[in-house]
A and B are shown apart, each in its own frame.
Chain A
């Protein structure tokens, strides 16, 4: 060992402050051992950081796999330090001009690497990113280029939390710098729970200043249902599939007529693999927010590889499953609430009588609810059950409202506001609480946004979203009656919890937040395209201020508001609007020429 004196000089050359920090660091994070083939390898505790047989060979295999995906215009960002074998292998593949950065979460670990083996001069070509997560994120954001994160899992696993923090800071930074306007086509479903979410998404995107086109298929729901009336199941499936294919083609045609920067599909949007493949060929950027439980609805497997980005409400195994199915990018994006739709409201006495109760539940009659809700009825409190699909639930007939009719959003809000304790039991097709309780349903956020008090079943992803001071949880059915008794008559305590939850939603969990995050993720991936638009680089002011902008073009840009995104079509329309018969400047003619080629409709259908 003892290679630090030889390795520190190059680090001093490229990152003197880091070199100083390394020198002062204690080291000793990694245990160094000889590998079978003689080179040094490392362990952290019981965990091997590099191969115990041949660390170089292992690193080469990893680097080759990463390199295949790494595009010329991307800055590679290595996650995981270890003994840097993998970084060395990647650096040897990297061509001139490509930038490779390595995140250093722990300077002591880097010290171990520099001490363990002679490195030569290759590290001089690496950009070392270190410091607080916020600082590291800022440096990455300042690259102004698409980033490709390359995770060497055995070493990266030591600092997973820091990596997540860096990534979150980076997204926040990109989100906070959003000042440009994107053209986004939102493709909604025919019907179902994701239909209102499509509306919330559109409203959020518009409130962020983007131009949104809603490709609304709900108008076709009646026809779709009509195809469901065949006696023969094959007929029904054939007709409904064909109908969905037609709607998919309809989407493609609409996109062709007004090409957006981003196609954002909401779960159940009728887009077939064939149409998605065609969209990709035509360079449309696509994303899907899959606001469903991936274990229950599994059609995502057929289209996983066809969307550029997947946003899902579950983590862990869900990510793995999507990646195995070919999804190129998978990100966690939990549900949210729209505070314009779900808000605290004062009810009239009549409304309070109609919608109010000590305890209420709003939702469809899934099996776990049919089994558990009767256990929570009691003479000690009044109980109202709202929602549909409760046929045959005899034990609940006395509390079922409106004969089990489907209730609309406004009624939902009134029930939430009128109820003392709202029960929030996530759906599950079994007789108990959901044994794989991970994602958090929209109702959690909607109840919180209303400032309504709720008791929710525990979910593994809930603590990341709300503290236990904001939402009271139960882990077993038996706890619920006790909790109802505990909170039913403690108005002040309920109010404190509910208000805290509402503040949390308004601060972090609205659809506006989610859309900012979604766009930040995509903007980071496509820095020179979506990212540039989001940063406002394509706004009239920014374009006019660019050094290379000739004065004649600056004059044309001056006709637009400085904060207005300017597209080729806008410029051409502006020139045409000034009328014929006058002498056009060269720049005007060139804009019109480019626009004449642009206006040829893309052949998508």
Chain B
């Protein structure tokens, strides 16, 4: 029987949000071969996804280099070399490739490796007719409104499967942490992971805000510890410089010092992870850690909130402008420090009182239609529009 390939060539957050679709595809066909094509840099994460047999690594840098050479003067050898690369990448041809990016490149990669592609376009990699789910995702991405189906569940829709019903988890990496990091999570409690950077500038939390949060937390939790996480070593250093020296023994800065697998391990040792960078937040949620998200910029909780149960997201509210039909880039003027500390100390019971001005606060759930968020203080009943959307966009799945 022909094997199936899932193509996800976007960033970390997108790969993690592909896990429910992979899980659902596996559940639909427990015996069939199911492989994943993802960027080389994310392949270690791909190998932790349950249900994947083999991870194919897409080396974008090599393609960039070849494209540069070919554009300087196209030669048959350029095409031949690319063919060989693909033959080495995939030893067999796939029956179906599920392409979960709208980027033309992902569609082309899927087309070259599989007989049939399913994904955002109905008429092949050169087409322009969006599939119903792709239209929905695009509209949500454009306006930022009306979203009640999580992106991860929309990926399921693109693959023609229903969400798995329960949040799937990543496998924990088996490699041990280096001795310098191995003490994390061992003594003291709670350990709070702070993702101090962000892929997009508009989502960066100022270092002064992190400083304040750390001081308030460590003063309130005498046994608490903080781990600074992320790639931006300089930000980690700047935050440490701002902290009183008496607290430094309780703050671990691992920014820029962890591989992706080590990051997964460190996240797994935290009791709770806070940040505004959605990629690592998704990663933390995928290893079963409760996540607090500060969503601002273009990030929206209903679309890309951490997938699972019990995660909390403070969503910066956009100014009410009914005339605007485009997604607003929201820049908060204050950050929910008080409210977050309250939640850290008292748990969910504190949430109704933890609504900060300019922010709303949401809690995550999961059911047969996938993940959803309810606003703190309101009834936690699932939003009804999801079922209607599934019925409209994927009637054949429901039959």
Contacts and interface: CB of A to CB of B under 8 A. Distances in A.
27 contacts: A538-B75, A546-B75, A546-B76, A548-B77, A548-B80, A549-B76, A567-B71, A568-B70, A575-B126, A576-B126, A580-B125, A580-B128, A581-B123, A583-B124, A584-B125, A589-B108, A590-B83, A590-B86, A592-B108, A594-B66, A594-B78, A594-B82, A596-B67, A596-B104, A597-B60, A597-B68, A598-B70
Interface of A: 259, 261, 529, 532-533, 538, 543, 546, 548-550, 553, 566-569, 571, 575-576, 579-584, 586-587, 589-598, 600
Given A550-B80, A581-B124, A594-B82, A586 B112 contact: yes
Interface of B: 60, 63-64, 66-68, 70-80, 82-83, 86, 104-105, 108-109, 111-112, 123-128
Interchain residue pairs A-B with the least CB separation, the first 7? A597-B67, A580-B127, A580-B126, A549-B76, A589-B112, A598-B67, A598-B71
A567 B72 CA distance: 8
A591 B79 contact: yes
Contacts, number: 101
B82 A550 contact: no
Nearest to B122: A581
Contact of A592 (B75, B80, B86, B125): B125
Given A549-B76, A586-B83, A593 B124 contact: no
A571 B112 contact: no
A538 B125 CA distance: 28
Given A567-B74, A580-B123, 18 more contacts: A261-B72, A538-B73, A538-B75, A548-B76, A548-B77, A548-B80, A567-B71, A580-B127, A581-B126, A581-B127, A587-B79, A593-B63, A593-B112, A594-B67, A594-B79, A597-B63, A597-B64, A598-B70
A587 B76 CA distance: 10
- Chain A binding surface, main DSSP class: helix
User: Looking at chain B's contact residues, is the secondary structure mostly helix, strand, loop, or mixed?
Assistant: helix
A593 B105 contact: yes
A569 B72 CA distance: 10
B75 A543 contact: yes
A598 B74 CA distance: 12
Nearest to B73: A538
Contacts of B76: 543, 546, 548-550, 553
A550 B75 CA distance: 11
Contacts of A571: 74
A347 to B, nearest CB: 50
Given A595-B67, A597-B64, A543 B80 contact: no
Contacts of A549: 76
B111 A589 contact: yes
Contacts of A553: 76, 79
Contacts of A261: 72
Nearest to A552: B79
Contact of A593 (B71, B74, B109): B109
A582 to B, nearest CB: 7
Nearest to B126: A580
Contacts of B72: 261, 529
B126 A568 contact: no
A593 B62 CA distance: 12
B124 A543 contact: no
Contact of A598 (B68, B73, B109, B123): B68
Contacts of A575: 126
A440 B241 CA distance: 69
Given A580-B124, A581-B123, A532 B79 contact: no
Nearest to B105: A596
A590 B66 CA distance: 11
Contacts of A259: 71
A40 B29 CA distance: 85
Contacts of A592: 104, 108, 125-126
A538 B74 contact: yes
